[in-house]
Structure formats: structure tokens, C-alpha cells
């Protein structure tokens, strides 16, 4: 019927000669330009050709690892207390000069997301060589544009907004994961710790939403060291997008000893082991790792051996072999998860492998947040070292 409606008289899969000739003529118009381009590329040094091919292929440079290791050395020497959104800016300041293909941006929250570094320049009508885009209040539009940049090739796009606004970018983020492209979502103000802006801006369920998305690595780093490692992994991933959940409030450096190894690549690792005979394991992400360490100190003083496990990326931990996972989370100890977000998904690590809910607890959120200073909020919702200690003691009875 369609063939008849269009007056198409040629047989199935038969292309008339006049149409074929017309398309061949159109295709040939680019031959001269393509030849000229190949000649220009051949005229530059082999090193520059190799760099161009690397960028177009979407492969991170070897210098990326060196830049991150250099920052880690500095951090473990200085031990700063900064918000991980600031840690992200510090990482980008080291990374952007060695990755000319990064194109950053923010959905009207540049000053809050800390996504712009001094060397980037602004991309606009007057400066097509700029590497930073002011997207405006367009979370979905920003994420969709990042997908386009990644699909085009030769670009490593990242963009920032508040984590609660990942809801608006959800459709495009899902497509990043579905298409398997390298896009990095910088999501700051990642918990009720943002304080007085109140429950409309405080993410509760967003971490669970992102962790439920196939082929999306969700990083919630505990300090500047883990943040730098997360950036290295996000920009090295050739077929997986990443989301970085970053704090507004300052966090101490909890990884105080330098190591060349990227421990965040393991997804979870033993940050500090028990001194007494191990009876409890505290599992935490992001800002709550600090709380886990404070609770461990109290429990150890009471003779209760406690291990602290930092879990910056569940997806990468799940990808480890079973032997490693069991080494980090051995049976025989009670487990308490600590995260200022919804519990959904945590049972995989708290009870899933053993199925014993009587030996596990969760310290986090079971409701939306409230408007108050961070210290008051954490105390009000029980996200404290003292409550963690109480949960462990109750499980050991």
C-alpha cells in the first residue's frame, strides 16, 4: 500500500539508477575535504596524531593516573577538611589540564557544584574553544546534551546540579546507561546535611534510584582521596556513565595513608580494622564514614572489636569476586549500615548473603528531612555515632 501510494514501481530492495547516481554524487562532494583533512593530520607529528586518535577513541590518557596520584600524595600530607564538592573541584583542577577533551558545565549551579576550573574558558557564541557550558536551569537538557557530546566522540562531558534534581535528569541519565557512554554527573548537596534549605532540596530516595539503574556507577566518596579516585574511574570508564554524590559540608580526610592503588576501584574496602576481637562491622558511605569511625572508637573502648568498611561504589564492589567480598564482609559479625538516605538496597550488604535480619541494623533515613542546621538534623534523625553504638550493642545482646 505504501509503495502504491508513493507511486514506487521498482521491485523490493531495487534502487533506481537515477536515485543511486544522485546519492553517489552527494557522497562524492566530501572527498576533497576528506582528503585535505587526512593530509593535514599526516602533516603533524606522530605524537599529536596518537593524541588525537586517543581522544576520538574515548580512551583516558596515562597522565590521568599520574595526576590523581599526585593529588592523593598532597592530600594525605595536608589532611584537609573540605566538602567533597570542593574535593571534586580540586580533582578537576589536576585532571582538566591533562585531559583536553573534558567539557564541563552546570545547570545554573556552578558556584555550588564547583565544576568549573580556571583553565577551561566559557563555551559560547564568541568562544567556541571554551570547555565550560552554562546550561541554565535545564537539568534534563544538560544531561541530554552530555549524551550527544559523548556519542559524537572526542569529548568527555561532565555536568553538575544538586543531587535531588537528578529526578529531572533521570530520563537522559537512563539513556546514558542504556547506550553505554561515558558521561559524568556531578551531584552535590547529597543528603540532609545540606541543612536549612529543607526537605525539598534534601535527597532521600535518589541514591536508591540511581543504584537501581543498570550500568551506572554511583560513587559516594568519603573524602578528597576517594573523590579523586572516583574521578579517575569515571573518566576511565569507556562504556559506563558515572554519578558522583558529593557533600555540601566539610569532611575530614579519613584515608590518611597514601597508597598508589585506587582502593575505590574495589567498590568497598576495609578502612580501619578491629583492634579487639571483631564482633561488629560498620558499613558506611560518604559523610557517614566519619560517623562510623567515631562509633568504632567508642565501641573499641568498650572492648567490642569493630571493623569500618568504606563503600564508595556498590556497583564496583558487586563486580569483585566472591572471595574478596567475603574477605571485606566476613560472616560472624553483626553489621550496621550508615547512610543519610533511604535504606532501600542496603539489605544486600547487611543481610542478603546470610539472610539474618536479627544481626543487622541500619542508621539512616526513613522519612523526608527537615529544615535545620546539619548538627541538629543528624541528632534529630539519629545519624550519630552514639546511635550506631546503641544499635551494635542491641544486636549483640
For 82, left (φ over 0), alpha (ψ -120 to 50), or beta?
A: beta
User: In angstroms, rounded to a whole number, what is the distance separating the alpha carbons of residues 319 and 316?
Assistant: 5
- Assigned C-alpha cell, 186: 556531578
Pairing of strands 334-342, 278-284: parallel
Catalytic residue among 89, 139, 226, 288: 139
The packing angle between helices 224-236 and 62-78, to 10°, is: 170
- Helix axes of 84-95 and 62-78: crossing angle, nearest 10 degrees: 140
Q: What is the DSSP letter of 163?
A: G
Burial class (CB within 10 angstroms; exposed 0-12, middle 13-18, buried 19+) of 143:
buried
Please name the helix (run of DSSP H) or strand (run of DSSP E) that holds residue 105, with its range, or none: strand 102-106
Residue 195 has which C-alpha cell? Answer: 541543612
Whole-number Å distance between alpha carbons of 209 and 217: 12
Strand order of the β-sheet with 269-272 is: 269-272, 305-310, 278-284, 334-342, 360-365
Alpha carbons 97 and 117: distance in angstroms, whole number: 10
Q: Residue 331: which of 293, 281, 282, 297 has the closest Cα?
A: 281
Q: Judge whether 139 counts as a catalytic residue.
A: yes
**Contact by Cβ (8 Å): 161, 187:** yes
Between CA 203 and CA 183 the distance in angstroms is 21
Q: Which residues are catalytic?
A: 139
Amino acid at each position: 500500500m505504501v509503495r502504491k501510494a508513493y507511486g514506487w514501481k521498482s521491485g523490493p530492495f531495487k534502487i533506481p539508477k537515477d536515485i543511486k547516481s544522485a546519492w553517489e554524487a552527494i557522497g562524492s562532494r566530501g572527498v576533497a575535504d576528506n582528503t585535505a583533512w587526512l593530509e593535514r593530520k599526516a602533516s603533524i607529528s606522530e605524537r599529536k596524531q596518537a593524541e588525537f586518535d586517543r581522544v576520538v577513541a574515548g580512551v583516558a590518557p596515562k597522565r590521568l593516573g599520574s595526576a590523581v596520584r599526585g593529588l592523593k600524595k598532597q592530600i594525605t600530607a595536608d589532611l584537609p577538611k573540605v566538602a567533597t564538592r570542593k574535593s571534586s573541584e580540586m580533582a578537576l583542577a589536576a585532571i582538566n589540564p591533562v585531559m583536553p577533551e573534558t567539557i564541563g558545565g552546570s545547570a545554573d549551579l556552578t558556584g555550588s557544584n564547583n565544576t568549573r576550573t580556571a583553565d577551561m574558558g566559557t563555551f559560547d557564541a564568541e568562544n567556541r574553544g571554551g570547555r565550560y557550558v552554562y546550561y541554565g536551569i535545564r537539568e534534563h537538557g544538560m544531561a541530554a546534551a552530555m549524551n550527544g557530546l559523548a556519542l559524537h566522540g572526542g569529548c568527555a562531558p561532565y555536568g553538575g546540579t544538586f543531587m535531588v534534581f537528578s529526578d529531572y535528569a533521570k530520563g537522559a541519565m537512563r539513556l546514558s546507561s542504556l547506550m553505554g557512554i561515558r558521561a559524568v554527573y556531578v551531584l552535590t548537596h547529597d543528603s540532609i546535611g545540606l541543612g536549612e534549605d529543607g526537605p525539598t532540596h534534601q535527597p532521600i530516595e535518589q541514591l536508591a534510584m540511581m543504584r537501581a539503574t543498570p550500568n551506572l556507577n554511583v560513587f559516594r566518596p568519603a573524602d578528597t582521596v576517594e573523590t579523586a579516585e572516583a574521578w579517575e574511574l569515571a573518566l576511565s570508564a569507556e562504556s559506563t556513565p558515572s554519578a558522583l554524590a558529593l557533600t555540601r559540608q566539610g569532611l575530614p580526610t579519613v584515608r590518611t595513608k597514601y597508597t598508589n592503588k585506587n582502593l575505590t576501584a574495589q567498590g568497598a574496602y576495609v578502612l580501619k580494622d578491629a583492634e579487639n576481637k571483631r564482633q561488629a562491622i560498620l558499613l558506611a558511605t560518604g559523610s557517614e564514614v566519619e560517623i562510623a569511625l567515631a562509633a568504632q572508637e567508642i565501641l573499641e573502648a568498650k572492648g567490642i572489636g569493630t571493623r569500618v568498611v568504606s563503600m564508595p561504589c556498590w556497583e564496583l564492589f558487586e563486580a569483585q569476586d566472591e572471595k574478596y567480598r567475603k574477605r571485606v564482609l566476613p560472616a560472624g559479625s553483626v553489621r550496621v549500615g550508615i547512610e543519610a538516605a533511604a535504606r532501600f538496597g542496603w539489605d544486600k550488604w547487611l543481610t542478603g548473603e546470610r539472610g539474618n535480619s536479627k544481626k543487622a541494623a541500619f542508621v539512616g533515613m526513613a522519612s523526608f528531612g527537615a529544615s535545620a542546621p546539619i548538627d541538629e538534623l543528624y541528632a534529630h534523625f539519629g545519624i550519630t555515632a552514639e546511635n550506631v553504638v546503641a544499635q551494635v550493642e542491641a544486636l549483640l545482646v
